Structure 1
Amino acid sequence: MINKVFRWLLTVVGLVVGFFITSFLETTKLLHGIVNITSNSISKIAFIVVGTLLFGLIVYLIAPYIIKSVWRITEFLESGIQKMPTNDIIIGALGLITGLIIAGLLKSSFSDFFSGNTILSIIGGTISIILYIIFGTLGVDITIKKKEDLNNLFAFTKRFGKDKKSKNESRGSASQPKVLDTSVIIDGRIFDILKTGFVEGPIVIPSFVLEELRHIADSSDSLKRTRGRRGLDILNQIQKELPISVEISERDFPNIQEVDSKLLKLAQTLGGSIITNDFNLNKVAEFQGVVVLNINELANAIKPVVIPGEEMHIQIVKDGKESGQGVAYLDDGTMIVVEGGKKYVGEDVDVIVTSVLQTAAGRMIFGKIKNSQDKAV
């Protein structure tokens, strides 16, 4: 139905174009030597009518091909636009408008020079079209290539317009966007942390992290599939149940392949921090000057503090790596390495803490069996 409407509209356009062309040819008498047109008004009218109908018929016959070509071009442009991030489309549109404005200003500066006669007008119109095409293309191309700089400029302007803050902001302050990585989403503890209100938004979830989660959730490996679905459930809980600002960032970096590298680049672009429990990402981020909030470091920081000489009642669950050692665990998962504890595997014993080793990966406690120490004394 819509194709028929377009066909008739094109036919009407063909009739109008045909009328103006035949009227022009008759007025300028360009075809009087070829076509026998007398000064009789009837012959003039007949020439214009025949010419108008002829143009309309030609357009009517070729209209289906024109419409098909237009649809193909439209589908091609639509598929290309759908692959582009929304930010790129907006920035490209702004660049196009800027380029067209510049072209219009240049055109107006020499329009008087080409307004003398018909030939000069045609030349001026041609130059104007070329200017619009060149500067429109340049505007889109330059803004797309400089989109990161423009995003940084807009972010800086937005921050500058707000209330002045301390020059040295505290680590992970509320004004900084918090970018979640895949590992911390799958881990799940981020929901409980955000629920307490100790970490404030806005929370940023990159689209490439969502894509990675989707791939994990669709994995043929049952364990990976379960972890991926758990991560998606955690995101839904954060978005629906918590009174915190959650943003989905469509920014992508096609030239960067690794998701961790994209996270670092996004955090730098937003001027924000990354929430993770990935030890390697933590180290790389520190090297690049990106603020990291590590969930494991937070968990270690709030574990009960033990000091050398303190007594503990634990159960030895397995052998240690070194000869004669036994291993036990606290309720929070902290490993306790007990010297001489191998022969007490499966038993509850009292131990005395000898030292505590704190690492980025966790905390380890070393101790001795209390009774053996007493005997030694």
Structure 2
Amino acid sequence: MDLILIRFIFVVFVSFTCFLIHPFGPNPRLDAAVGALLGLSIVVFEWRLLRVSLKRLIGAAIGSILGIFGAYLFALVIRNSLEESSLRSFLQIMVMLLMAYVGLIVGANKGDLLNLAALGGIFGGEKQLKKSYKILDTSVIIDGRIADIAETGFFDGVVVTPQFVLRELQLVADSGDSLKRNRGRRGLDILQRLQKVPSLQVQIVEDDFPGVREVDLKLIELAKLYEGKIITNDFNLNKIAQLQGVEVLNINELANALKPIVLPGETMRVFILKEGKEYNQGVAYLDDGTMVVVDNARKMIGKTIDISVTSVLQTTAGKMIFGKWDERSAPRSDPRNAMGAASSISESKKQIVIADQPAE
């Protein structure tokens, strides 16, 4: 609140100063309006600077100073080469603006390479004050597992949800398709669960990028702006973000990493659910959704059997386990028990026949 008051006083002061001095013409009202716009521009510039890291600020300052120094040297050459004229003045001004601008941009971009720790800890608080931003995309919100992970306390910091993601969620929630509508509403419920996690700070941001149409590219630009990480389970977004140097936390990769390790030669018990693509294959699934392809198990569909793991295949979509069922390892009935059971059945039949005969 104090900062807002100070900014307001600053804008009023600039406007009143222009009203008294008349720097833009004899009309005092026009001068006051232009002064107010100038003050607002300075406040907006200051507000944007608050989001810039200290390294980039130092880099931009150093780059600007070097650029102005280089412009001064160029101006000396221009002054000694050309006669005094409007062209010479124009070239000197343009060279100064160009060099200062280039130095500012290059210095800001290269500022992250500065090692502030080498300055003896003068700027040691910069790392402590820096927040860890996690940016959620639509797919990971609808997926829902992010809420369970957050409630376990495996990650903390500031969870950033942009307005364009909320709009996309709302469109899905208002869809005419009941399946999409339920998914969209579940995504909104997941955001409410995240807001109740004590270790998280859910922040809704208004930042948008009108020049970028696709939501995935907007998320990447937002991650660059906040220097944060994108949380997603979208394979394509994962690859594009990594190509542009943005860190990604993929929920699917985390789930695959948490799956139990199975080695070839181990024995496991599975339920054969359906037949496989190849001849005499059966397919089973573990509790975590891992597919298990079993050879010689087609006739065991609907039964639980013990198999021997032959190989494990790790793919981008997940893990697949290949195994083999040995028919010889299946439990067999004892022939003597079978003969005894058959004789018991025949004796029972004889008793039934005798009981059915009429008495003489």
Query: Does the TM-score normalized on the shorter chain lie above 0.5?
Result: yes
**Residue 153 of structure 1 aligns to a residue in which SS?**
coil
Amino acid at match of 1:216: V
- Aligned match of 1:179: 135
Deviations 1:170-215 (A, max 9, x none): xxxx942011111111111111111111111211111111111111
Deviations 1:227-252 (A, max 9, x none): 11111111112213544211111111
Helix, strand or coil at the partner of 1:202 = strand
Normalised to the residue count of structure 2, the TM-score between the two structures is 0.62
Do the aligned partners of 1:184 and 1:276 also contact (CA within 8 Å) in 2? yes
Partner in structure 2 of residue 312 of structure 1 = 268
Aligned counterparts of 1:224 and 1:124: Cα–Cα separation in 2: 60
The question of whether the paired residues in 2 share the 8 Å contact of 1:177 and 1:272 is answered with yes
Single out whichever of 268-277 and 311-320 deviates more from structure 2.
311-320
| Cα distance change on mapping 1:148 and 1:241 into 2, 3 Å | closer
Residue identity opposite 2:244 in structure 1: Q
Offset at residue 354 of structure 1 (A): 1.5
Among 10, 14, 27, the residue aligned to 1:101? 14
Q: Does 1:230 align with 2:182?
A: no
SS at match of 2:196: helix
2:154 partner SS:
coil
Per-residue Cα deviation, 1:318-374 (whole angstroms, up to 9, x for no partner): 122333332110011111112333333222222211111222321111112234799
Structure 1 residue corresponding to 2:151, chosen from 190, 195, 201: 195
Q: Which amino acid is the alignment partner of residue 125 of structure 2?
A: D
Greater Cα shift, 364-373 or 176-185 = 364-373
Q: Which runs of 5+ in 2 are unaligned?
A: 58-111, 117-122, 331-360
Relative to 1, partners in 2 of residues 1:325 and 1:95: Cα closer, same or farther, differing over 3 Å?
Answer: farther
Offset at 1:163?
2.6
Residue 100 of structure 1, CA deviation: 7.7
- Superposition pairs for residues 1-377 of structure 1, below 5 Å? 101=14, 104=17, 108=21, 125-126=26-27, 129-134=29-34, 136-137=36-37, 150=49, 152-153=51-52, 163-165=125-127, 175-371=131-327
C-alpha distance in structure 2 between counterparts of 1:230 and 1:150, whole Å:
37
Gap change, CA 1:180 and 1:156, over 3 Å in 2: farther
How many angstroms apart in 1 are the aligned matches of 2:179 and 2:157?
Answer: 31
Aligned to 2:356: none
Q: Which runs of 5+ in 1 are unaligned?
A: 1-89, 112-122, 167-173
- The one-letter amino acid of 1:200's match is D
Q: Which residue of 2 aligns with 1:74?
A: none
Aligned length: 262
Tell me, in whole angstroms, the C-alpha distance in 1 between the residues paired with 2:234 and 2:17.
Answer: 53
Mapped partners of 1:96, 1:321: distance in 2:
75
Report the more deviating stretch, 206-215 or 237-246.
Answer: 237-246
Q: 1:155 and 1:195 mapped to 2: Cα distance?
A: 33
CA distance in 2, matches of 1:266, 1:244: 19
Cα distance in structure 2, aligned partners of 1:265 and 1:94: 29
Report the CA distance between 1:162 and its aligned residue.
6.6
- Work out the CA distance in 1 between the residues paired with 2:175 and 2:39: 43
d(CA) in 2 for partners of 1:340, 1:261? 48
Contact 1:95–1:142 (8 Å) recurs in 2: no
CA distance in 1, matches of 2:9, 2:137: 35
Instruction: Quote the Cα distance in structure 2 between the aligned partners of 1:368 and 1:353.
Output: 7
Distance 1:237 1:155 in 2: 34
Q: Distance in 2 between matches of 1:148 and 1:354?
A: 61
Equivalent AA in structure 2 for residue 249 of structure 1: V
Q: Distance in 1 between matches of 2:149 and 2:292?
A: 26
Q: 1:155/1:195 Cα in 2 relative to 1: closer, same or farther (>3 Å)?
A: farther
Equivalent position of 1:57 in the other structure: none
What RMSD, in angstroms, separates the aligned Cα atoms of the two structures?
Answer: 3.8
Q: Distance in 1 between matches of 2:209 and 2:9?
A: 22
Q: Call closer, same or farther: CA 1:351–1:140 in 2, change over 3 Å.
A: same
